[in-house]
Structure 1
Amino acid sequence: MDGSRPIVRTRPRDTARGGASTYTELAQQIRDRGLLRRRYGYYWTKLIAAPLAVATCLLVFVWIGDTWWQLFTAAVLAIVFTQIAFLGHDAAHRQIFVSGRWNDWISIILGDLLVGMSYGWWQHKHTRHHANPNRLGSDPDIDLPVIAVTAETAARRRTPAIRWMQAHQGLLFFPILLLEGLSLHASSVRRVVSRGRLERRWAEIAFLAIRMIGYLVLVFLVLSPGIAFAFLGVQLGLFGFYMGIAFAPNHKGMPVVPHDLTLDFLRRQVLMSRNVRGGRLLDAAMGGLNYQVEHHLFPSMPRPHLRRAAPIVAAYCGAHDVAYTQVGLLTSYAIVVRYINRVGLGERDVFTCPLAEQRGAIGPAVPPR
């Protein structure tokens, strides 16, 4: 199916019986095809390339000097930092090494030291998202500070400014993403200095301080103040925008699950996720996040195997009457924008979703036209 009108049909009995065995059968097929095997050559190449790419960009930055041409350097750095963040995402999901400790430290080095994003903050947030995608009260990714992606969030409008933004959020969605880079850095700093359990707190604080302070010092040493602020604006803006457009198609505009509804693992991950069709260039550009269904079913699957797993998962879901949603890239953005626009305008029933009405069945879930 093309995903433009995903019809999700899950009977109540499927959520109570047979769910575990249904996933186990699929997992065995994936395992038998070797798609959970590590890809050390692939990842070591990327791990070596990541610091070399950053070092090269910074050397070019110093060599070019105080000129407005540095805005092109800022754009390149935004792309490099986003690609490194994707690699850190892979490590955090244990896709690279067998050792959890090795994966953790790689995530900290890539995230905190090279990109300026706290691994501990991201892990805490992202783990909850994977456990309950699009579930009310459980998924932090549907409880955003500015954009409302559920009717419940929209109903909590606070200030007049927030109310105005949410009423126009379909139009403002992509411009707001330009602020996402600054938000990611701020959230990371807030997490490492706040109370609460955080493993390797001092390592994260040290790496974030080196990355952020050292980066700012270098920028203002090489560039005059006006060009420096423009450079930082372009780099942070494009970094946040790139991160946002890579993650936005994954779940926004898919059915939202009531907090008290129980679904088996297969349906909980597949029905709330959306894949984005494309070739290998899109795979590289989106860091494998375009295979969101497969990633949610098998978080530790190495990124290169997601493309091979997709047709297996799609066929399996088809055989078990589980909707497998897949659309083109531009279609995915259109669905997201139309959906959040309707939420922002106060439409409570954005989907026709008998999930709650039938007490256990997900019925026609039709993205807004």
Structure 2
Amino acid sequence: MPDRALSVVLAGGGTAGHISPLLAIAGSIVDQRPGTRITAVGTEAGMETRLVPAAGFELRTIDRVPMPRRPSIDLVKLPVRLVRAVRQARAIVAEAGADVVVGVGGYVSTPVYLAAWTRRVPVVIHEANARPGMANRVGARIAARVAVAFDGTGLPGAVLVGMPMRRTIADLDRAAERSSARAALGLDADRPTLIVTGGSSGAASLNRAVAAAVPLLTAAGVQILHITGRGKQVLGTDRDPLAAHGYHQVEFVDRMEQVYAAADLLVARAGAATVSEVSAVGLPAVLVPLPHGNGEQRFNAAALVDAGGAVLVDDAAFTPEWIGTTVLPLLTDPRRLSAMSTASYAQGVRDADRRMADLVLAAAAGGQ
């Protein structure tokens, strides 16, 4: 490789599920190749506008190009929107002097993949979900390297690397950090602890079920940290924020490693990042896949559930009654929680960021 600084353009955004692995890959590339210039590409409407600069990386934006799955006005507008976004992406790739382009999927990735292809810049793709999205199905056809977090995606030439995640999560010792994490989150040190999250956007169905089960859970001595999602505060019958002894609600937690350390059991959606992170740290989980989309969340969870590290429940079946008959007995059974933790940890991949950095640097070397 030449002595000049390497330039890497990374594409992805919209949700934390895309941005977190992107930032983990970027950080590992810089660790392995100090001085590398990182340019992230997103849109002006996604969480990347906050998270990427906060991580210390440059962010450039292009127009958002939705990929409609059925006839609509967006489908009619797609060709014009895509051409404009590819033109914007070409300018960014050229100005960065990119040696390699890395994409993690999402609306922003397709134009960047096409821009790199037209400029003969090698492309490396990471697919987080067991069922690939449209952007990465397109990008895999032109990519120099394709990496996946789960087996069985069907993407050609895919290499299993796991899910890139922050080192503070990948290296987490839950037992060692439990007391300090609970203190930081305002929780009691010794009570059985249930933490519920629907992700950064929240999940209304989970919020409703958990809120209705609060009296049952707290009466049994369980404390709950309910991460409701931005703008999704849970209200009581008096229309004030729901309050009860042992029940704590917040809209968002920035440091998920504290959540993972503090929890005895996590209730969450089965997003790829969540499934990968709970297995990396060995946290028992109840996973409630989204009831819509292409069904990827159920596939994301399959291996972890089969191994005994998590319990899967349909969204419609996740009711206050189910919480009482399944979640509460689990929370009060230390032996079963310990067995689930061991099974979960055995499924975890804790060096995916480094594996991805190796693929990216190899692709860049090949391109040069």
TM-score after normalising by structure 2: 0.24
TM-score after normalising by structure 1: 0.24
Q: Which has the higher contact order (CA 8 A, sep 6+)?
A: 1
Larger strand fraction of residues: 2
